[in-house]
């Protein structure tokens, strides 16, 4: 009889542990959810207003766009101060031109994983990436690509790799901001 109670006790304890795992595994830990990509972008790049043209892409969508699509793709990293500055000036350009959509892809996760998607992106952008000292093409951010029918017709990765001694605010003086905006506006207008 005591063995039966002990087995029942173990059974209930085991069931309780399983239920706790299920509960804790499905619990919402105050994850931020956004109604729109614009709100999400504002959450990642807080200097950009919620009503913005940035549309998030996942790796599969980016690869499809790189192979067959048309549009403007901004590749950044929300934790990178150079990406934040780049996004700010790119948003100003988008606003002045009335652009409705700029695709956004955060490169951080795929760079860490270096999975099949990473290599598909690298292959699709061959010749348009910065080559490291060991002759390896790499995804650096921030960078901008203008695509037409799966072909890169323009790209800019000016601030993707900069001297470590150079401060963001020092680089983005009025002269460099003007040159950047003129270059991007010209590229967008030429490839519209």
CATH number of domain containing 105: 3.40.30.10
Task: Give the predicted TM-score (pTM) of the model.
Answer: 0.81
Which residue has 């999400």 as its token pair? 40
- Are residues 157 and 143 in contact, defined by beta-carbon separation less than 8 angstroms? yes
3: in domain? no
**Length in residues, the chain:** 192
Q: How many helices and strands, by DSSP H and E, does the chain display?
A: 8, 7
Q: Which residue has the higher pLDDT, 56 or 2?
A: 56
25: in domain? no
- Alpha-carbon distances of 149 from 1, 65, 158, 175, rounded to whole Å: 76, 8, 24, 33
Domain that includes residue 69, residue range: 34-190
Q: Which residue has the higher pLDDT, 40 or 12?
A: 40
Q: What is the mean pLDDT of the chain?
A: 90
Give the pLDDT mean for 22-28.
Answer: 67
38: in domain? yes
Q: How far apart are CA 185 and CA 179, in angstroms?
A: 10
2: in domain? no
DSSP 122-146: HHHTTTSSEE-TTS-EE--SSEEEE
**Number of structural domains the chain divides into:** 1
8: in domain? no
Q: Is the pLDDT of residue 137 over 80?
A: no
Range name among 81-95, 99-113, 132-146 with the lowest pLDDT average: 132-146
16: in domain? no
Going by their DSSP bridges, the two strands 102-106 and 54-56 should be labelled as parallel
Q: Is 130 helix (H, G, I), strand (E, B) or coil?
A: strand
Going by their DSSP bridges, the two strands 137-138 and 54-56 should be labelled as unpaired
6: in domain? no
Half-sphere exposure of 151 (CA within 13 A, CB side): 4
pLDDT of residue 136: 72
Q: How confident is the model at residue 144 (pLDDT cuts 50, 70, 90)?
A: very high
Q: How far apart are CA 62 and CA 104, in angstroms?
A: 9
Which residue has 């905006």 as its token pair? 181
Q: How far apart are CA 68 and CA 151, in angstroms?
A: 8
27-66: pLDDT as tens digits: 555 566 888 999 999 999 999 999 999 999 999 999 999 9
Most confident listed range (9-13, 27-31, 43-47, 161-165) = 43-47
1: in domain? no
Q: How confident is the model at residue 17 (pLDDT cuts 50, 70, 90)?
A: confident
Q: Is the pLDDT of residue 21 over 80?
A: no
């Amino acid at each position: 009889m005591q063995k039966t109670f002990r087995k029942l006790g173990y059974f209930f304890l085991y069931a309780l542990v399983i239920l706790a795992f299920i509960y804790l595994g499905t619990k919402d830990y105050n994850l931020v959810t956004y109604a729109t990509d614009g709100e999400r972008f504002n959450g990642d790049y807080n200097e950009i207003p919620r009503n913005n043209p940035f549309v998030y892409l996942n790796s599969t969508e980016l690869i499809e766009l790189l192979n067959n699509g048309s549009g403007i793709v901004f590749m950044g990293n929300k934790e990178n101060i150079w990406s934040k500055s780049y996004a700010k000036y790119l948003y100003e350009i988008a606003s002045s031109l009335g652009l409705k959509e700029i695709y956004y892809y955060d490169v951080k996760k795929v760079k860490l994983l270096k999975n099949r998607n990473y290599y598909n992106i690298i292959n699709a952008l061959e010749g348009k990436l910065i080559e490291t000292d060991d002759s390896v093409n790499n995804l650096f951010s921030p960078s901008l690509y203008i695509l037409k029918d799966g072909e890169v017709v323009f790209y800019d990765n000016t601030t993707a790799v900069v001297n470590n001694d150079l401060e963001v605010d020092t680089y983005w003086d009025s002269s460099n901001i003007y040159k950047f905006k003129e270059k991007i506006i010209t590229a967008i207008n030429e490839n519209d």
